[in-house]
Structure 1
Amino acid sequence: MPHPQAKIHRMFELVEPIGAITFSEGPNEAFLAAGMRNYWDGYFAGRAAPLGPAPAGVVHAVFYNFADGEVARHIPWVWGKITPQEAIAVRERGSAAALRETLGDSADAPGLVRVADLATRAAVSAPTEGRALYAGLRALDVPTEPVARLWHAATLLREHRGDGHNAALLAHGIGGTEAHVLLALSLGMRAEEFGRVHHLPKARLDAVIDGLRGRGLVDPAGGFTDAGRETKARIEALTDELAAPAYDVLSADELDELVAGLEPIAAAAQAVDA
């Protein structure tokens, strides 16, 4: 029997902050020490590394949601300073260290090993077809140290869901920059206030919003229409549906155990950005 979609979405809520600790201060400093010029160099080097020295156009396509030209400001420049293999190692060390610091004494709790094992079972069980970034991560060795293994599993599950989310956006005709506008509106923000797109030239962002308005997804004031809200809900529901196969390997009791084990870890990780 498939797991309830609500439980699949709950796993997204728990996995996201654990995997996203990669983008916190500690891993960023590790990439700066490795020769990166700024945060975004480290972001693209670390996240794209499982794809190998792929050109900017390929990374742009796989990541899906960056505006034209953003990837090319960092790739291939970063590969002149660090190899993909080195970036993978820097990312894992920095992320595991950040998660360990966040968890404090609980990083050595016996229960964490069980949580990492359950998460890893799910993380390495999902189909890779159509999931380029997830497939790249699946090709990497799974860390043996429990905290690093938990972070790695969370990253796999996060990117597996992310690849599916991109497919859901594509199926609904929503481009990457448009997706950020819809996300901003779902969070109760105006698009120009949202971090991923607020830096875009006003004319460029206005054109994206006008395109959504022309499709009836955004109203004249720049907010959601009913159709826009319904489209966003359908995309999220399909994303959860596409993420579900990763958890088929776990029984209902095991998934409940994993959720319970991840909750305090995710809460601690979320507090890093609070």
Structure 2
Amino acid sequence: MAGNRDIGSETLPGKVERGTEVPDEPAAGREATPGEPPKGRGSGEGMEDPSHTARALWALLEPLHAVTYFAPEARQAFEDAGLHGFWRGYFAGRAAPLGETGPEPVTAAFFGFAPAMVARALPGLWAVVTPGRALEARRTGAGAALRRLLSGYGREVEEAAGLLLPVVRDLDCAGRVLAAANRALPVPPGPVERLWHAATVLREHRGDGHVAALVAAGFDGCEILVLRAGADLPRAELQPYRGWSDDAWRAAGRRLAARGLLDPRGGATAEGLRAHRAVEEATDRAAARPWQGLDASARDRLRRLLVPLARASAAALRFPNPMGLPAPAGEMTDVSGPQVPGSGRSA
């Protein structure tokens, strides 16, 4: 197999026009919540609202998946497979369920990344590892990380996995390519790995719905990041990590301004905030259906099981972060923070 020098620099995909190389890994962002919070926020009643249930469980499941890219054991597993540098592990690990595919389908599925950034990674990475080897590294690294982080929670892990796997089995994955590809993988042995597998399928299921909501609202991968930068996140913590050039960023800003979503200074207008909030609400609605197969007592039991597991897993993550994932606090029911496309559904 070819060495990594055949792919490019350690920091895919190279440089943005301002002369800043794409960072080795995503830096922390800032969580903020434009618009009104969802009904039931921070209350027990919120768990009975299907949309709020979906968002609350996303906040609890996302840390269990996110260790795949951020925990030291996971990073080492990718390194051991020959994937040196954060972005090589990220692109190979996340795209591997799709098989040995090229950049176009991955750009479409991941949504928020500049096509040139993805093209610097794929298909070249398949000369370094096979998709099967990348999947093995992903599973091994995540499992090792969670066994460390969740030590002492064996009963909770086993019971939570038992509740989640039937939900995964019964998922409707129509129109959700990443969810379908991950669900098609064999369920791994071991309770920690089974829990991680379920969390991964469910977060990609939600992410696929998030992309559909963005497309239906008329946003492309760069525009929604520019809007988010105008609302609450610094441009420097979005643009470099998604590989967009300055020209592409400015052009996206002009398109948003023409729609009345950005003001002349680049800030999100009231209409822009409403548009973004509508996407978040559509994402929650689209993510609610899988949980309707659990009765209220099972949903509440699942939440109680996942709270300590999410808090323990979050030790491997940064808060705030570009995923838009809220920091663990209390019972973790205050989960109104928005997702960042391309990372809110992913690391």
Give TM class, smaller chain.
Answer: over 0.9
Does 1:69 pair with 2:111?
A: no
The residue matched to 2:218 in structure 1 has which SS? coil
Paired-residue identity, %:
40
Match of 1:52 in 2: 99
The alignment of Structure 1 onto Structure 2 pairs a total of residues equal to 270
Which sits farther off after the overlay, 136-145 or 201-210? 201-210
Q: Which amino acid aligns with 1:31?
A: F
Q: Which residue of structure 2 aligns with residue 174 of structure 1?
A: 219
Task: Find the aligned partners of 2:102 and 2:169 in 1 and give their Cα distance.
Answer: 27
The alpha-carbon distance between structure 1 residues 273 and 184, as it changes in their structure 2 partners (threshold 3 A), is farther
The amino acid across from 1:156 in the alignment is: V
8 Å contact kept, 2:116–2:243:
no
Task: Tell me how far apart the structure 1 counterparts of residues 136 and 284 of structure 2 sit (CA, whole Å).
Answer: 30
Tell me the TM-score normalised to structure 2 length: 0.74
Listed as ranges, the matches of 1:198-213 within 5 Å are 200-213=244-257
Query: Residue 197 of structure 2 aligns with which residue?
Result: 152
- Which residues of structure 2 form unaligned runs of 5+? 1-47, 319-347
Unaligned runs of 5+ in 1: none
Asked if 1 retains the 8 angstrom alpha-carbon contact of 2:92 and 2:134, the reply is yes
* Partner Cα separation in structure 2 for residue 111 and residue 185 of structure 1: 41
**Corresponding letter in the other structure for 1:226:** A
Matched, 1:190 2:234: yes
Asked if the contact 1:3–1:244 (Cα under 8 Å) also holds between the matched residues in 2, the reply is no
Match of 2:310 in 1: 266
- Look up the match of 2:210: 165
Structure number with higher relative contact order (C-alpha < 8 Å, ≥ 6 residues apart) = 2
Relative distance call for 1:175 and 1:159 in structure 2 (3 A) is same
Assess, with a 3 A threshold, how the Cα gap between structure 1 residues 35 and 115 changes in structure 2: closer, same or farther: same
**The one of 3, 6, 10 aligned to 2:56:** 10
- Match in the other structure for 1:81: 128
Aligned equivalent of 2:68: 22
2:194 counterpart SS class: helix
Distance, in Å, in 1 between the alignment partners of 2:236 and 2:54 is 31
Tell me which residue corresponds to 1:93: 140
Q: Give the match for residue 110 of structure 1.
A: 155
Per mean C-alpha deviation after superposition, the further-off stretch among 243-252 and 87-96 is 243-252
Determine the C-alpha separation between the residues in 1 that align with 2:74 and 2:316. 13
Runs (4 or more) in structure 1 with deviation over 6 Å come to none
What is the distance in 1 between the residues matched to 2:162 and 2:261? 42
User: Matched residues in 2 for 1:211 and 1:60: separation?
Assistant: 21
Which structure has the highest helix share of the two? 1
Question: Structure 1 residue 3: deviation in Å?
Answer: 5.2
Amino acid at match of 1:65: G
Question: 1:2-21: CA deviations, max 9, x gaps?
Answer: 85311111011111111111
SS at match of 2:267: coil
Partner residue, 2:168: 123
Could you list the per-position Cα deviations for residues 227-266 of structure 1 after superposition, in whole angstroms to 9, with x for gaps in the alignment? Answer: 1111111101111111112212211111111111111111
> Helix, strand or coil for the counterpart of 1:105?
coil
